[in-house]
Structure 1
């Protein structure tokens, strides 16, 4: 009788160990997947923050204009803007129509 009891106990321990091991492996895979996604999102966040920090400041934009373009950029009004269409017959320019101004 004790042999059956010990055999049953050993069998239940082996089965419970394999179940625990499988569930632990699944949890490890989920944790790894979440960590990889988190690293990817952190990289995208850092890139976006860097872009925002350097391009959102008007002082920085003026500094970049002076540094890279010197006097190549000139101010235009909306009436100076045109629509450029390239067709098979050539290039056509149209006036820019601004909606909402009445």
Structure 2
């Protein structure tokens, strides 16, 4: 999911305590998101979905846990996804992490 990096770009990484007391790792992707062109994908209309599904006999269910991690980053974008740890290590994401502005639309 990540590899060591030598990228000139990086976003800081830190941990925050969740309301339940557990820790959650966070990447401050503010600068990257500010420089990102926002993608948009319209949500299909309900009547169109119903029309397209009329007569369907197969229903499927998908497990979407950690779904973003199933999306590979483009090789050219990987250096932009570098994150630095408090210990000074630099890693870059090979898959789409949470926190990017276009992650929900891409997913």
TM range (shorter): under 0.3
TM-score scaled by length of structure 2? 0.19
Quick check: which one's helix share is greater?
1
Quick check: which one's strand share is greater?
2
